[in-house]
């Protein structure tokens, strides 16, 4: 016997005011995790392609410097991404110090 949703109430429970903030935080977290994974895969791909094809005439020192600089750039981009995510929660933590 099918359940009559009109009789039993809503198909979805009523949402609480904090639910939209929580789902927004999960969405922002998911984006940053995906960007981190894609960034690391792109960096490894760049490093392998660079060393294998684009830098045969560079010395070992020059190749190492290019790889390290690209790693520093990746670390900076990921740090900015995660710091902005963490600062989104700073207003909640600032209330604890009062």
**Model pLDDT for residues 21-41, shown as the tens digit of each residue:** 677 888 888 999 999 999 999
How far is the C-alpha of 35 from the C-alpha of 68, rounded, in Å? 20
Q: Count CB-CB contacts under 10 A for residue 24.
A: 11
- Asked if residue 56 has pLDDT above 60, the reply is yes
Q: How confident is the model at residue 20 (pLDDT cuts 50, 70, 90)?
A: low
With tokens 């995510």, the residue in question is 85
> How is residue 86 written in tokens?
């963490």
Specify the pLDDT at position 38. 94
């Amino acid at each position: 016997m099918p359940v009559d949703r009109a009789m039993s109430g809503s198909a979805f429970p009523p949402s609480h005011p904090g639910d939209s903030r929580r789902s927004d935080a999960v969405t922002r977290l998911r984006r940053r995790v995906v960007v981190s994974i894609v960034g690391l895969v792109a960096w490894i791909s760049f490093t392998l392609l660079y060393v294998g094809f684009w830098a045969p005439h560079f010395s070992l020192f020059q190749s190492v410097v290019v790889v390290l600089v690209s790693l520093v750039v990746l670390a900076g981009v990921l740090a900015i991404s995660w710091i902005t995510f963490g600062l989104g929660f700073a207003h909640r933590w600032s209330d604890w110090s009062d």
